[in-house]
Chains A and B, each alone.
Chain A
Amino acid sequence: QSALTQPAAVSGSPGQSITISCTGSSTDIGAYDHVSWYQQSPGRAPKVIIFGVNHRPSGVSFRFSGSKSGNTAFLTISGLQAEDEAEYFCCSFVGSITWLFGGGTKLTVL
């Protein structure tokens, strides 16, 4: 059970769009449409921002979107704002009541 692979860090300027990738395999991301993304600010518990690959919970900004292609999932944040600066984690159901997280990506808003 190796962690899903995410870039360690990404950055962007206010107003720009960024995309974070999350690469797994045919037995996790490639096998299930149960990919979710979590935003975590320092000292806080994680908060879900995308579930089911591309669904946003109520209250989450439309600027957050998700997608998947093959064994890789993507989180796109459009119209970057300073408040988006946080760490982002992907997660996939991998069958048999088990899940797997990515290593996390630190987003810096320049």
Chain B
Amino acid sequence: EVQMVESGGGLVEPGTSLTLSCAASGFRFGDYTMHWVRQVPGKGLEWISAINWNSEDVGYADSVRGRFAVYRDNTRNSLYLRMRSLRSDDTAFYYCVKDIKYFFDSWGHGVLVTVTS
């Protein structure tokens, strides 16, 4: 069974940093592009980052470019999102998502990041 489990969320102050992790299982992790998608509670989905199978291609939404960095460790079947200079509008659930042919076929349950003073 394909499974992604996010961790590392929590309550942080504006301007600080946080790194999210995603542990993947049930598929050949190293074969797939992976994404981070976030959702403010009660609001819409926002794609924020992707990384291809060998980390040679990465992409970011304008809202996080320069502050967030995505990386992966295929030996550990893990995806990461390093978030810096966090702002209140970064408060959201963050989903780890598996890509297959340009769409998102499997989602984690999400982890909540709350940025507040």
Contact = CB atoms under 8 A, between A and B. Distances in A.
A, B: real partners: yes
A105 B105 CA distance: 20
B50 A98 contact: yes
Listed residue (B45, B51, B61) with the most chain A CB atoms within 10 angstroms of its CB? B45
Nearest to A98: B59
A91 B95 CA distance: 15
Best-surrounded residue of A38, A91, A96, A98 (most CB of chain B within 10 A): A98
A31 B61 CA distance: 18
Interface residues of B, number: 28
A110 to B, nearest CB: 22
A97 B58 contact: yes
Given A45-B107, A45-B109, A52-B101, A97 B45 contact: no
B60 to A, nearest CB: 8
**Tier of interface size on chain A:** 20 to 34
Interface of A: 1, 3, 32, 34, 36, 38, 40, 45-48, 51-52, 57, 89, 91, 93, 96-104
A32 B37 CA distance: 20
B101 A99 contact: no
Contacts of A102: 44
A25 to B, nearest CB: 15
B61 A97 contact: no
Nearest to A6: B44
A46 B105 contact: no
Contacts of B101: 51-52
Interface string B12-43: 00000000000000000000010101000001
B9 interface: no
Given A1-B62, A51-B102, A97-B50, 6 more contacts: A32-B102, A34-B103, A48-B104, A57-B105, A91-B47, A104-B44
8 contacts: A52-B103, A91-B45, A93-B102, A96-B59, A97-B33, A97-B57, A101-B37, A101-B45
